[in-house]
Chains A and B, each alone.
Chain A
């Protein structure tokens, strides 16, 4: 059965701290791994990773994928209270001839002022 696991489940830090969120997966026919941020409504897209070892970066956020060890990390440096959210990892995998996106449990991040 396809599985995506995130850790930690929740995290409380202070502004300015650096955090590392983890996502490991076991799926057949992997195509990509995606990171999303969810506040009150719909998840918003952060990164899509398809190749191993390539870092994607946007401002204070960065992510890397290890296809050999089947995991990804999302780093947030100099955290701000606006980074408080649930961070979701999703893996795109082939099923019944169609690609579907399987979500992990999410990491709930709270950044204190």
Chain B
């Protein structure tokens, strides 16, 4: 079990569906991240939120839309995805800020299949 909780664990969606991935942490962390991981590849950064503001978007297609409603929650809204978007989506958090650093704490991920 991790201190970062992701739901759902598995998701199958069609290319015309709209769905959302959810992530929650209660460690008081102020930076939250979305990573995408394909099989046998390292995690690839998608977005970073720092103090609830989007600070990094790694040129992610607009069919992925992140949202940070408050410091504990992070969502990833999905719309009109392609089969090649099938992957493990990992949420992570860290203390954030320029003064302090901490390891990334990962959730267990959502395994997404786009049909």
A97 contacts B103, CB within 8 Å? no
In the complex, what distance in Å separates the CA atom of A62 from the CA atom of B115?
A: 43
* Binding site secondary structure of chain A: strand
Q: How many A-B residue pairs have CB under 8 A?
A: 62
In the complex, what distance in Å separates the CA atom of A32 from the CA atom of B98?
A: 13
B55 at the interface (CB under 8 A from A): yes
- Give the contact-size bracket for chain B: 20 to 34
B66 at the interface (CB under 8 A from A): no
A95 at the interface (CB under 8 A from B): yes
Q: Which of B2, B45, B101, B102 contacts A42 (CB 8 A)?
A: B2
- Give the contact-size bracket for chain A: 20 to 34
> Taking the nearest CB of chain A, how far is it from the CB of B33, in angstroms?
8
A100 contacts B56, CB within 8 Å? yes
Instruction: Give chain A interface residues in 64-104, CB to chain B under 8 Å.
Output: 88, 90, 92, 95-104
Cβ–Cβ < 8 Å partners of B101 in chain A: 31-32, 48, 50, 92, 99
A43-B43, A45-B103, A92-B101 known; A100 vs B2 contact (CB < 8 Å): no
Cβ–Cβ < 8 Å partners of B55 in chain A: 96-98
Cβ–Cβ < 8 Å partners of A43 in chain B: 43, 90, 104, 106
A103-B42, A105-B42 known; A34 vs B56 contact (CB < 8 Å): no
Chain A residues packing against B (C-beta within 8 Å):
31-32, 34, 41-45, 48, 50, 88, 90, 92, 95-106, 108
* A–B Cβ pairs within 8 angstroms, 13 of them: A34-B103, A34-B104, A43-B43, A43-B90, A48-B103, A96-B56, A98-B48, A98-B50, A99-B98, A99-B101, A100-B33, A100-B56, A101-B45
Q: Give 14 A-B pairs besides A42-B90, A45-B105, A90-B104 with Cβ atoms closer than 8 angstroms.
A: A32-B101, A34-B104, A43-B90, A43-B106, A97-B98, A99-B31, A99-B94, A99-B101, A100-B56, A101-B92, A102-B45, A103-B43, A105-B41, A108-B40
